Amino acid sequence: MSTTAEMLLTVEHLTMRFGGLVAIDDLSFEARNREITSIIGPNGAGKTTVFNCLTGFYKPTVGRLILNHPKSGNTYFLERMEGFKVAQVAHVGRTFQNIRLFGQMSVLENLIVAQHNVLMKASKFSIAGLLRLPVYMRAEREAIDLATYWMDKVGLTDKADWDSQNLPYGDQRRLEIARAMCTRPVMLCLDEPAAGLNPRESLELNDLLVSIRDDHGIGLLLIEHDMSVVMGISDHIVVLDHGRKIADGDPAAVREDPAVIKAYLGEEEDEELPPEVAQDLATSGTGGKP
Amino acid sequence: MAYFIQQLINGLTLGAIYGLIAIGYTMVYGIIGMINFAHGEIYMIGAFLAIISYLVFGDMGIVSIPILLMGMLVISMIFTAAYGWTVERLAYRPLRGSFRLAPLISAIGMSIALQNYVQISQGARVKPIQPVVQGGFQLFTQGGFAVQITYLQIVIWVLTTALMVGFTYLITQTSLGRQQRACEQDRKMASLIGVNVDRTISLTFVLGAALAAVAGLITTLYYGVIDFYVGFLAGMKAFTAAVLGGIGSLPGAMLGGLMIGLIEAFWSAYFTIEYKDVATFGILVLVLIFKPTGFLGKPEVEKV
């Protein structure tokens, strides 16, 4: 795709073991800035585990997760960072398969609390905040502006005061993405954002994700089962099966890859029945006939 | 009627003390789901620090009552907050992620440790203090019974109201409060949007301890005597207040505190004073049986 896109995330030899279970086995891939990189694979392939390693929930058994921050130019080793610093310093945002909003906060508050790092810095240990100094008021206005922008973008402006737990499912999904964007990330990890959406909502989601990539210039990492979303908007696809990478490339190449077809549909040889069973069937078949 | 109003005044004052302590219980429960049984001792330490700072200011020759009160308030809040922070750091943080009962046992241990620490370092005898704020005025007299409000009671009400308003503002309107509520609702998610969860929990303990220190100061001024054991009973009653209002709910803690204060005052006035503790804890039993979520607590709804 775009040749100017720089490297955003480099995953090197990532391995995650839980006791004897190897969830991810020597996985290496790269994700570029301003691109949508999809991670696909059958259930249990280790996709969410990759995200959990990236966002500091798990410490990888082996491997490196290198993030090149495009704005500051710094390099961060995500596997060494404490959980909250991944978001605060490295600016990695994330959404969940099962939505995790702050249910008892309003839509607006959900978007403002995501910007608390900016606000806390401006409030100088709350002092400027409590005294309502101009420096804090400006930061607060900017925070509200950004929140308003995202509410507009995901179509929740008229529901700004709703407790987020009372929103319909599709709205909750979009609010979660908006909240992640309010943390001003350089990389956004989306874990099955299209799950449970109807076809129309799913199309809107495509537009939203493409707009995040193109208008906001950040890299997206996407886990998704809905192939219309994956094939429609991905620039690059990584296919996992049983924790191993089996294919890596653009959508057209991945679609044709025999290893991918095998993982998803099973081998053709599997369709053949073992000889004993075939024989049994044959005999019972003839025996059944009068 | 006059007698009733007098008891109302006394009850509200007592309720202010319980309310301030109850906030500490309810906030800690809200954020880490644990009953901090050492909170009563934190309150007791606040009371001791108030007496110590009173004596130090006395030695320095400060006699102006407003300055003396402000000084006692600030000193006892700061140092008690430091105790609150230390208790969390030493006794609870290492046990985070351990099984649920572990920090609870640690809290009980911390409570005993702090009690003995004060007993050894300050002595076991009761500590008296001279009345700092004296006088008052009569509201009215009815049938030979004069209804009195002391100046101290007015100071207590003003102080408590100001603190509660300020505190509610802090939690509902500021970035700090939003951060705290975010941790309360989903700690993992909070850390994913960059909230330093450990620091927020520490802050919760610091704020709770500072409010308990104010309650300690008020007790010192109002009753004039304290000992190393005051924290236990007051702590248990404040806990009752938090449960009564609905544990985890901030306005609930304030309301519960006032109710416990009033119940105690009226029970002492109209029934037997010896049984006032029985009345208070009887209420706890009734609430736990008939409305376990308390008055303002939200029942936990599991969405399927």
The mean pLDDT of A214-237, rounded to a whole number, is 86
Q: Is the pLDDT of residue B93 over 50?
A: yes
For chain A, give the percent of residues with pLDDT over 70: 87
Contact between A105 and B191 using a beta-carbon 8 Å cutoff:
no
Q: Is the pLDDT of residue A289 over 50?
A: no
Cα of B103 to nearest chain A Cα, Å: 22
The mean pLDDT of A21-33, rounded to a whole number, is 87
Q: Considering only CB atoms, which chain B residues are within 8 Å of A114?
A: 193
Contact between B192 and A88 using a beta-carbon 8 Å cutoff:
no
Going along chain B from its start, the domains and CATH numbers come out as: 2-290 (1.10.3470)
From B118-132, B134-148, B155-169, B267-281, the region with the lowest mean pLDDT? B134-148
pLDDT-derived band at A290 (thresholds 50, 70, 90) equals very low
- Residue A275 is predicted with a pLDDT of 64
Instruction: Please work out, in degrees rounded to the nearest 5, the angle formed at the alpha carbon of residue A71 by the alpha carbons of A66 and A75.
Output: 25
Q: Is the pLDDT of residue A4 over 50?
A: no
Q: Which of helix, strand or coil describes residue A229?
A: helix
Q: What are the angstrom distances between the C-alpha of B69 and each of B66, B165, B225, B295? A: 5, 20, 17, 35
Are A65 and A115 found together in one domain? no
- What digits encode the pLDDT tens for the residues B2-45? 888 888 999 999 999 999 999 999 988 888 888 899 999 999 99
Supply the pTM of this predicted model.
Answer: 0.83
Give chain A's domain count.
2
The answer to whether residues A109 and B178 touch, using CB atoms and an 8 Å cutoff, is yes
Q: Does A224 map to a domain?
A: yes
Q: Considering only CB atoms, which chain B residues are within 8 Å of A57?
A: 188
Are A190 and A276 found together in one domain? yes
Are A209 and A250 found together in one domain? yes
- What digits encode the pLDDT tens for the residues A110-128? 898 888 888 877 776 667 7
Are A210 and A241 found together in one domain? yes
B185 touches chain A (CB under 8 A): yes
Are A62 and A190 found together in one domain? yes
Cα of B48 to nearest chain A Cα, Å: 29
Nearest to A84 among B178, B181, B197 (CB): B197
A169 touches chain B (CB under 8 A): no
A88 touches chain B (CB under 8 A): yes
Residue type, B45: I
- What digits encode the pLDDT tens for the residues B187-232? 888 888 888 888 899 999 999 999 999 999 999 999 888 889 889 9
Range of the domain at A221: 7-91+185-288
Are A158 and A208 found together in one domain? no
Are A85 and A116 found together in one domain? no
Domain C-terminal end among A141, A172, A203: A172
The mean pLDDT of A229-237, rounded to a whole number, is 86
Q: Does A164 map to a domain?
A: yes
Q: Which of helix, strand or coil describes residue A153?
A: helix
Considering chain B, what is the average pLDDT of its residues? 88
Helices of type H across chain B = 2-32, 39-59, 65-87, 101-122, 151-173, 175-185, 187-192, 197-223, 230-245, 250-270, 276-290
Cα of B194 to nearest chain A Cα, Å: 4
- Residue A288 is predicted with a pLDDT of 43
Domain C-terminal end among A131, A147, A172: A172
A266 touches chain B (CB under 8 A): no
pLDDT-derived band at A1 (thresholds 50, 70, 90) equals very low
Are A70 and A208 found together in one domain? yes
Interface test with B, best of A52, A92, A102, A104 (most B CBs within 10 A): A102
- Pairing relation of β-strands A236-241 and B127-128? unpaired
Q: Token digits for A193?
A: 């954002």
Q: Does A131 map to a domain?
A: yes
- Residue B146 is predicted with a pLDDT of 83
- Residue A252 is predicted with a pLDDT of 83
Q: Does A178 map to a domain?
A: no
Q: Does A180 map to a domain?
A: no
Q: Considering only CB atoms, which chain B residues are within 8 Å of A101?
A: 189
Q: Is the pLDDT of residue B48 over 90?
A: yes
- Residue A162 is predicted with a pLDDT of 87
Q: Does A119 map to a domain?
A: yes
Nearest to A117 among B189, B194, B197 (CB): B194
Q: Considering only CB atoms, which chain A residues are within 8 Å of B193?
A: 87, 93, 113-114, 116, 179-180, 183
Are A193 and A77 found together in one domain? yes
Are A11 and A148 found together in one domain? no
For residues A52 and A160, give the distance between their C-alpha atoms in angstroms, rounded to a whole number: 30
B174 touches chain A (CB under 8 A): yes
Q: Considering only CB atoms, which chain A residues are within 8 Å of B191?
A: 56, 83-84, 87
Cα of B21 to nearest chain A Cα, Å: 24
pLDDT-derived band at A272 (thresholds 50, 70, 90) equals low
The answer to whether residues A210 and A37 touch, using CB atoms and an 8 Å cutoff, is no
For residues B104 and B35, give the distance between their C-alpha atoms in angstroms, rounded to a whole number: 7
Are A135 and A86 found together in one domain? no
Q: Does A247 map to a domain?
A: yes
Q: Is the pLDDT of residue B167 over 90?
A: no
Cα of B184 to nearest chain A Cα, Å: 9
Contact between B196 and A116 using a beta-carbon 8 Å cutoff:
no
Are A204 and A263 found together in one domain? yes
Q: What CATH code is carried by the domain that includes residue A225? A: 3.40.50.300
Q: Does A139 map to a domain?
A: yes
Q: Is B215 exposed, middle or buried (0-12, 13-18, 19+ CB in 10 A)?
A: buried
Please choose, from the candidates A262, A206, A258, the residue with its C-alpha nearest in 3D space to the C-alpha of residue A234: A206
Cα of A281 to nearest chain B Cα, Å: 44
